[in-house]
Structure 1
Amino acid sequence: MYQEMYTHLFNAMTDALEALAAHNYGQAETLLRQAQLWAEERYLEEEPTP
């Protein structure tokens, strides 16, 4: 699970940095927020381990 989350978040950060470089701040914020929500949902979907 964590490897998938890391990869997804890393890619989202890369995309957000590209958006920032293009001065597209709204897109950068959207990308980061979407990635944050995705990761949180994935984490909460996992069953807790004893």
Structure 2
Amino acid sequence: MLDYRKMYFQLAAKVADAMDILLKALQEGEAEFMDAEPFPGFKVVAIKDEDRDSE
């Protein structure tokens, strides 16, 4: 008979490994983006919130 408990824990361990790999890739991508040079001609534009400004 198959050992479903063992199979379940093996699957759960592989899913956890996959999540760790994805999280590490996400963190590395975010760090690379934050360390990169800003885009040429890139500006921050403030948008006024009329509802907020009227209070």
TM-score when normalising by structure 1: 0.51
Q: How many percent identity over aligned positions?
A: 21
What are the ranges of 5 or more consecutive residues in structure 1 without an aligned counterpart? 1-21
1:42 aligns with 2:23: no
Structure 2 spans left out of the alignment, 5+ residues? 1-9, 42-55
CA drift at 1:30: 0.2
CA distance, structure 2, for counterparts of residue 39 and residue 45 of structure 1: 10
More helix by share: 1
Q: Partner of 2:48 in structure 1? A: none
If the length of structure 2 is used for normalisation, what is the TM-score? 0.47
- Rg larger in 1 or in 2? 2
Offset, 1:47? 1.2
Q: How many residues align?
A: 29
Q: Extract structure 1 runs of 4+ deviating beyond 2 A.
A: none
